[in-house]
Amino acid sequence: MADTKREIERKFEFSTVKSARRGVPDLTGTAAITAVSDQGTVDLDAVYYDTPDQRLAADGLTLRRRTGGADAGWHLKLPVSPGVRDEIAAPLGDTVPRPLAALLRSRVRDSALQPQMRLLSSRRVSHLLDADGALLAELSTDQVRAERGDTVAAWTEVEVELADGVDPALLDAVEKTFRKAGLRVSDAPSKLARALAETDSAPPARAAADPGDGTAGAHVLAYLREQRDALIAQDPAVRRGLPDSVHQMRVASRRLRSAFKTHRKLLDRSATDPVGEELRWLAAELGVDRDQEVLLERIRTRLDELPRTLQLGPVRARLRIWNTARSSGSRRRALAALDSPRYLALLDTLDALLAEPPLLKHAATPAREALPKAVLGDYERLAARVGSALALEAGHERDLALHEARKAAKRARYAAEAAVPALGKPAKRLAKAMKAVQTLLGDHQDSVVAREALRGLGAQAAGASESAFTWGVLYAREEAIAERRERELPDIWHEVSDPELRTALG
Using the predicted structure, report yes or no on whether residue 268 has a pLDDT greater than 90. Answer: yes
**What does the pLDDT look like over 269-302, one tens digit per residue?**
999 999 999 999 999 999 887 888 899 999 999 9
* Helix orientation angle between 425-463 and 315-327, rounded to the nearest 10 degrees: 110
Q: What is the identity of the amino acid at 263?
A: H
According to the model, what pLDDT value does residue 326 have? Answer: 83
Q: What is the identity of the amino acid at 120?
A: L
Rounded Cα distance, 501 and 505, in Å: 7
SS (H, E, C) 84-110: EEEEEEECCCCCCCHHHHHHCHHHHCC
Residue (of 58, 62, 85) closest to 74 by Cα position: 62
Rounded Cα distance, 59 and 88, in Å: 16
Rounded Cα distance, 116 and 196, in Å: 9
Rounded Cα distance, 196 and 57, in Å: 9
**What does the pLDDT look like over 239-258, one tens digit per residue?**
998 988 999 999 999 999 99
* Mean pLDDT along residues 151-174: 96
Instruction: Tell me the domains of the chain and their CATH numbers.
Output: 3-198 (2.40.320.10), 216-503 (1.40.20.10)
According to the model, what pLDDT value does residue 212 have? Answer: 61
Residues 440, 489: contact at Cβ < 8 Å?
Answer: yes
Handedness of CA 356, 358, 364, 366 (dihedral sign): negative
Proportion of the chain above pLDDT 90, given as a percent: 90
Which pTM value belongs to this model?
Answer: 0.89
**What does the pLDDT look like over 60-94, one tens digit per residue?**
999 999 999 889 999 999 999 988 999 999 999 99
End-to-end CA distance of the chain: 56
Residues 174, 160: contact at Cβ < 8 Å?
Answer: yes
